[in-house]
Amino acid sequence: MRVLVADDDPGSLLVAKAAVEQSGHECIAAADGDSAWELYQQYRPQAVVTDLVMPGLDGLALCRAIRAAGTDSYTYIVLVTSQGSREDVLAGLEAGADDYVTKPLDPFTVHTRLLVALRITSLHADLARYRSALAEQARTDPLTKLSNRLKLDEDLELLHGLSERYGQDYCLAMCDVDNFKSYNDIYGHPAGDIALQEVAAILSGQGRKSDGIYRFGGEEFLLVLPNQSWRSARILVERARAAVQALGIVHSGDPTGVLTLSAGISAYMEGHRPGSEQLLEEADTALYAAKAEGRNRVAIASAIPGDGA
């Protein structure tokens, strides 16, 4: 564990540093509150042992600054007081300290406080990992392992805001597996699930790292393509469509004899800057147009000005 010790008294600082290191922890020493705050921001220690009265930031101000920092990890703070008065202890706890010790420092007391600090910070780290895993799970489609609608809403809102602010283009491509209902009817839902997983893998392999691939629902997928013109988006989506067809997943209910994909592309571009919801609708309308034209093809939204019409 990394421990920051702050004290303006050289003797007390030396005792505290020795106690920390004898307990088997890494120690960072600061001779006043201001340098302690700078070292905290640089090293993000798991525990802080700070004197109450110091030049610059005092112990209470340091506690408040650490709690206001709002980091993902938890810092356990031990306040060191000269008298251990009730007022000092209460003020320290209200400022964000977890515990206190009195001077002169006893190495055994410091050691016991650090044992508690290690236990508490480890628990907080575990909870942070669990929260992160749950948040990831809530935003992932369990079948295809692609991002789901919740993650799409978050990512698209962010992308649209940045594109609107900086005048950047982006495209959406709504993709749908052709005649998928009949595929499930003929081959069964387990086979349909496997087919969706294979299509998802193909779509994931076609884009750039900056592109987003989402399961939109059922057999529909959405590609979010930042900094793409509709022309470059069409090349990418045509490549994906051909790759799905090249999988050769047998589908006796499709005229081609294999599973295929249709797609519709909309664009946020110069001369056409609608909201993200409208772009989704335009991509969906273009997808229906591709279906009406015979499936296994890519259509461009009619709302795109110029050559895109």
148 CB-near residues (< 8 Å, 6+ apart): 139, 140, 141, 214, 215
DSSP run (H or E) holding 5: strand 2-6
136 carries an active-site annotation: no
Tell me, what amino acid is at 186?
Answer: I
DSSP summary character for residue 273: -
Tokens matching residue 9: 């008294």
Q: Which of 21, 38, 164, 219 is catalytic?
A: 219
94 CB-near residues (< 8 Å, 6+ apart): none
Cα separation, 178 vs 197, in Å, equals 15
Cα separation, 42 vs 47, in Å, equals 14
Tell whether omega for the bond before 10 is within 30 degrees of 0, i.e. cis: no
Range list of H helices, 139-229: 149-166, 180-187, 189-206
Q: Are 141 and 215 in contact (CB under 8 A)?
A: yes
Taken in order 295, 298, 301, 305, is the CA torsion positive or negative?
A: negative
Neighbour count for residue 5 (Cβ, 10 Å): 31
Q: Which residues of 53-67 are buried (b: 16+ CB within 10 A; e: fewer)?
A: ebebbbbbbbbebbe
Active site members = 219
